[in-house]
Structure 1
Amino acid sequence: MERFYDLLTACIDDCVSKIKIRPRKYPIWFTTDLICPLKQKNVADKHYKASQSQESYAVFLEQRKELKQAKKRAYNEYLCDMQDQIIINGKRFWSFVNSRRKNRSLPTSLTYNGSSAVSGTASSPGLSDQERYPLFLRLYPSDTILVPGWEALLRYFRWKKVAIIYEDVEMFSLLMKELVLLFEDHGGYEVLTVEHVQSGFEPTNQIQSLKNHNARIIIILAYPQMTRQITCQAYRMGLYGRKYVWMLPGWLSSNWYLGPDGENGVTCSEEQMKSALEGYLGIKVLSYTKDFNKVNFHGVVSHEINMFTTLFVTITRSEDVKSRQPRGYQILFSRMNIPSCKM
Structure 2
Amino acid sequence: MTDEFYAELRNIIAKPTPMTKIDTNNYPVWFTPALRQSLEEKLKYHRRFKKYKNPRDYDTFSMLRNRCKKLIKNDYKNFVSSVESSLDDDIKFFWRFVNDKKNNANSIPKTMKYGNHISSDEKEICEFFSNYFSSVFANPEETIFYSHNELSNRSNCTLSDNTITPDHIQQKIAKLD
In the superposition, the TM-score normalised over structure 2's length comes to 0.48
Higher helix content, 1 or 2: 2
Q: Which has the larger radius of gyration?
A: 2
In the superposition, the TM-score normalised over structure 1's length comes to 0.27
Relative CO higher for 1 or 2, CA cutoff 8 Å, sep ≥ 6? 1
Higher strand content, 1 or 2: 1
